[in-house]
Chains A and B, each alone.
Chain A
Amino acid sequence: MITLTSEPFEPGALLTDFCAGREETGAVASFVGIARAEKGQAAALELEAYPGFTDTAIGDFAEAAKARFGLHDYRIVHRTGRIAPGEAIVFVAAAAGHRREAFEACDFLMDWLKSRAPFWKKEHGPDGARWIEPTDRDRTDAQRWDQES
C-alpha cells in the first residue's frame, strides 16, 4: 500500500501494523528517512507531489520491486508539504520469506524514491528557499540497480 500524507506520521506504529498477522513471512525490513537540520542550514523541507500521478508512479515501481524480489507485501508512506527537521519523511517496509530479499527490496525502493520519484523538493534555510535536484550520489545509487538488472 502507498500513502502520501501532509501530516506527520509515527513510523513505529506503521511497522507494528505491517508486521501483524504474518505467520509465513519470515522477514520484514524497514527504513525511515528523517529530515536533517543540516546544523541550522535547513529550517524546513517542502515536498510537492502531484496527487494521482506521484502515488501511481510509486505504486508501479513498488509492484516491480515486489516481482523482482519476490516480496509478500510492501508498505510505503511518504510525507508531502512542509516537513520540520526531525520529522519522518518516508517509511518503507518490505516483507519477504527471507531477510536478503527484504533488505535488498528496501534498498532498491529507497534508491528510486530518493532520485527518481516524482516529487519537487524545496529547502527553506536562513538565506531563503531553493529548489533541489537529486545529488550525484543519489543518481549513482539508483544506477547500481540498472547495471545489475
Chain B
Amino acid sequence: MARVLLFGRLADQAGWRDRGFEATSLAVLRGLIANDDPDLGEALSGPGVQVAVDKALVRGEATLDDATEVAFLPPMSGG
C-alpha cells in the first residue's frame, strides 16, 4: 500500500492529505486518484506540481512498492 501525501492547495481541494492506495506505479496511482476524483486527478498533473517518491523528487514514471511514500507538491511558496 503506497501512502499518498498532498500539500498546500492540493490537500484543500481533495479534502484529505494522507491516504493509502494499492498501486504498483505512479501511473496506476494517478489513474486510481483520477477515477475517484477527476478534478483532483487533473490538478495533480497541473503546471508546477512536482512529485516526490520517498522524499526524493522524481520526473515522469516511478515504480511503487509497499510502504512507498508519494507526495504531490504544488508550487512552493518559500517561507
Contact = CB atoms under 8 A, between A and B. Distances in A.
Contacts of B55: 50, 52-53, 56
A73 interface: no
Interface string A107-127: 000000111111111100000
Given A53-B55, A56-B55, A115 B78 contact: yes
B79 A134 contact: no
Interface residues of B, number: 15
B79 A113 contact: yes
Interface in A79-126: 89-90, 113-122
B73 A116 contact: no
Contacts of B12: 131
Interface of B: 5, 7-9, 12, 52, 55, 71, 73-79
Given A56-B55, A114-B79, A120-B74, 15 more contacts: A33-B79, A50-B7, A50-B71, A78-B79, A114-B78, A116-B76, A117-B78, A120-B7, A120-B8, A120-B9, A121-B77, A121-B78, A131-B8, A131-B9, A138-B78
